[in-house]
Amino acid sequence: MLLSQVVEASEAVRATSSRKTKIATLAELLSRAGPAELAPVVAWVSGEPLQGRIGTGWRTLTAVSVDPAAEPGLTVTAVDETLGNLAHTGGSGSTARRRALLVDLLSAATAPERDFLVRLLTGELRQGALAAIVAEAVAVAAAVPVELVRRAHMLSGRLPVTAMAAMTGGAPALSEFRLEVGRPIQPMLASPGATLDDAFAEFGGEVSVEHKLDGARIQVHRSGSRVRVFTRTLRDITGNVPELVELVTGLDCESVVLDGETLALNDAGRPRPFQETMSRFALSPAPGTDPEASAATALGEAVPAAASTRELLLHPYFFDCLHLDGADLLDAPLSERRAALAKVAGEHSIPALLRPDAEAAADYLDAALAAGHEGVVIKSLAAPYAAGRRGRAWQKIKPAHTLDLIVLGAEWGYGRRTGYLSNLHLGALDPDGGEPIMVGKTFKGLTDALLHWQTAEFPRHERTRDEHTVFLHPELVVEIALDGAQVSSRYPGGVALRFARVVRYRPDKEPAQADTIAAVRALLPPGSAAAE
């Protein structure tokens, strides 16, 4: 199969909003892939290389100046082999070897193929072909029930592996997947809930109300004396978290799989900032990799020196038990899984209130917020464990935050946003009359219509520009939704937005009516201290 066939299918998927058409297009593509081509094709249309992160970032790729090929000739197998070589190239002289590999690859690619590869390698393959859609396409291509594909994907942890089983062995092969202690599974996720009362009423009071911690998701597997710890993305971080390994080794069981969160606490027992917890999960750049593509600094933030050491201990809070001493519990209701959790994890279980009345649930939410947590999660006690956010068996309830901020600039986009002003620089008002204080960046929430509007409108407010950014006079106000704030040394106000996304522009507001830096700092977790 030629790379051009994958690119054509990718473009067709991007060009339609119809889920049905996306699935049909991808199913046809997968049906044409050979046995050696299926896994990389499934990975690519899901938005990432089969090898995962290969340490090649945007600046490295765009620095390769070669003319595109006139005609398509690259095969899927050849591209996958090159990406594998890039992922495993390190050591002395690796920078030159990696560049040579990229020159060979990109010079053999047509212009559309090069655009596809750059977006793939930089995580910008925004074509709407997320794992859920690709899973449905696998089901169609293999003529098997989609629920079998979803369950096999949850248990295998990797969609390319699931697709290979479906296409080569059909339903019987998919049915062979089991929870295997030591192999991570796709996690179940909580959906946003409207209000506590709505979520409580939906389940008729048969719920577990649990603290929503501002921590990092972990999945812990133990078989005998061997323990492995995985992140939400199924990355193995066992070597980074010896205290968690020691704790799980000491549990009274022979085998167990636990789902939960971990976070660092301060001396008062309150949660430390999220990026400090994430610093323990951080990766060092592999030899020869592009530093911009590494995960060496969590969330793009510089990690405080004290937080980057093993002296910052992590505390686990387990909220689910998926396996215990030979018994798989995925299909058991949460009420049974919580009983197993209490038995094996005891004091390390997350605080929970079972079958409360509405008033007690509301008090529990207030107490969670007062303790410095994000809110609560309402879980149906009757629900089994299912990967992703299918259904609403778990609902997270936490205060919604919005701020009116000043647009200070915008960066030129790349990938599908090439040619458009995209990533916004956001500032809060200085109540003392100084220049707005930058508190973050975001391109989340920007529709195609807003990208077009920004690119036309922003030059009218231009103050200056450089190669990457158009800086604006502080004249435009935008409403931003966010999950909170965190201490940051990256911005002059000592604080940064968490998970910011654009809601709308506010032409009804003057810059003087924007929120102040004090309003941003007020969203910091209790006990945090930002630079004044």
pLDDT band at 128 (very low <50, low <70, confident <90, very high): very low
Give the residue with greater pLDDT, 277 vs 74: 74
Look at residue 338 and tell me whether its pLDDT is greater than 70. yes
Whether residue 126 is contained in a domain is answered as yes
For residue 183, is it within any domain?
Answer: no
- ∠ CA 128-129-131, nearest 5°, is 125
Highest mean pLDDT among 77-81, 238-242, 291-295: 77-81
Is 50 exceeded by the pLDDT of residue 367?
yes
Same-domain check for residues 393 and 412: no
Confidence band for 377, pLDDT divided at 50, 70 and 90: very high
Same domain, 126 and 156: yes
Short-list 397, 373, 396, 392, CA closest to 382: 392
Report pLDDT for 242: 92
- Which CATH number does the domain housing residue 140 bear? 1.10.3260.10
Top-confidence residue, 194 or 99: 99
- The answer to whether residue 301 is domain-embedded is no
Asked whether residue 227 falls in the same domain as residue 338, the answer is yes
Q: Which of 175, 202, 237 is the last residue of a domain?
A: 175
- For 386-395, write each residue's pLDDT tens digit: 887 667 899 9
Predicted confidence band of residue 198 (pLDDT cuts 50, 70, 90): confident
- Same structural domain for residues 147 and 160? yes
Tell whether 304 is covered by a domain: no
| Same-domain status, 94 and 112 | yes
d(CA 126, CA 130): 9
Q: Are 121 and 263 within one domain?
A: no
**Tokens read off for 275:** 């990026």
Residue of 20, 22, 212, 396 with catalytic role: 212
Cα–Cα distance for residue pair 220/257, rounded to 1 Å: 6
Is 142 within the bounds of a domain? yes
Pair (481, 506) in one structural domain: yes
> Tokens in use for 432?
């003392």
Q: Residue 440 is part of a domain; what is its CATH number? A: 2.40.50.140
Mean pLDDT of 275-303: 45
pLDDT band at 288 (very low <50, low <70, confident <90, very high): very low
Q: What is the DSSP string of 136-161?
A: HHHHHHHT--HHHHHHHHHHHS-HHH
Tell whether 385 and 416 lie within a shared domain.
Answer: no
**Domain final residue pick, 368, 397, 426:** 397
Query: 56-68, pLDDT tens digit by residue?
Result: 766 677 778 889 9
The total domain count for the chain is 3
Residue 212 falls in the annotated catalytic set: yes
Cut 0.75: pTM above it: no
Q: Which of the listed residues 397, 431, 460 is the one where a domain comes to its end?
A: 397
HEC secondary structure over 62-116: HCCCCCCCCCCCCEHHHHHHHHHHHHCCCCCCHHHHHHHHHHHHHHCCCHHHHHH
pLDDT at residue 291 tops 60 = no
Same domain, 375 and 461: no
| 277 in a structural domain | no
| 37 and 72 housed in the same domain | yes
Nearest Cα to 330, choosing from 387, 368, 271, 399? Answer: 387
Q: Does the structure show a pLDDT above 80 at 453? A: yes
Whether residues 427 and 389 share a domain: the answer is: no
Which CATH number characterizes residue 348's domain?
A: 3.30.470.30
Q: What confidence score (pLDDT) does residue 530 get?
A: 56
46: domain range? Answer: 3-175
* Assigned domain for 148 exists: yes
Which sign does the torsion angle of CA 384, 385, 387, 391 carry? positive
Residue 425 and residue 481 share a domain: yes
If one compares 221 and 213, the residue with the highest pLDDT of the two is 221
With respect to residue 112, please indicate whether it lies within any of the assigned structural domains.
yes
